[in-house]
Amino acid sequence: MKPTIYIGADHAGWELKEAVEEFLKEEGYKVVDMGNQNLVNDDDYPDFGHAVAKRVVTDPGSRGIVACGNAQGICIVANKVKGVRAVTGFNQDAAKSSRTDDNANVLCLPGHFLKAKEARKIVEEWLGTPFSEADRHVRRLKKVEDIETQEFGV
């Protein structure tokens, strides 16, 4: 069964979000658009990155895809939510390794630097790649969880 995908973007990632949403629906994914619903030139990426991240951690098995101009700002805010492992997906190899090694659950795309066709390939690679469950990666993610607990509490 395909996971639910929560998506969101500010003005700089809005067009890319719309293209990714269309692609995901064509592929049979349930997509929940967390905004922005329309292109609003003075909106702010923290609003959408946070909304998507919160939904991903409260809906087990789901994933998130967010976009802003360079993907960094929205990635930073998504990673402020305990349990989120947000990564920038600037190419297929990075997206794949973020799943095999880091079990990433939020993919952040740079609206200023990716065309829709490239983004579709990256998203397809990311969604189609399982976590390797290799001992070293499980150990490292456990350390990340321990740090989250220290920094954010239970």
Domain extents in the chain: 5-152
**Cβ atoms within 10 A of the Cβ of 99, count?**
23
Structure confidence at residue 1 (pLDDT): 85
Which CATH number does 5-152 carry?
Answer: 3.40.1400.10
Q: Is the pTM of this model over 0.95?
A: yes
Active site residues: 68
Q: What is the dihedral of CA 130, 30, 17, 66, to 10 degrees?
A: -50
Confidence at residue 64, expressed as pLDDT on a 0 to 100 scale = 99
pLDDT recorded at residue 154: 74
pLDDT mean values, one per 10 residues, the chain (154 residues): 96 98 98 97 98 98 98 98 97 98 98 98 98 98 97 86
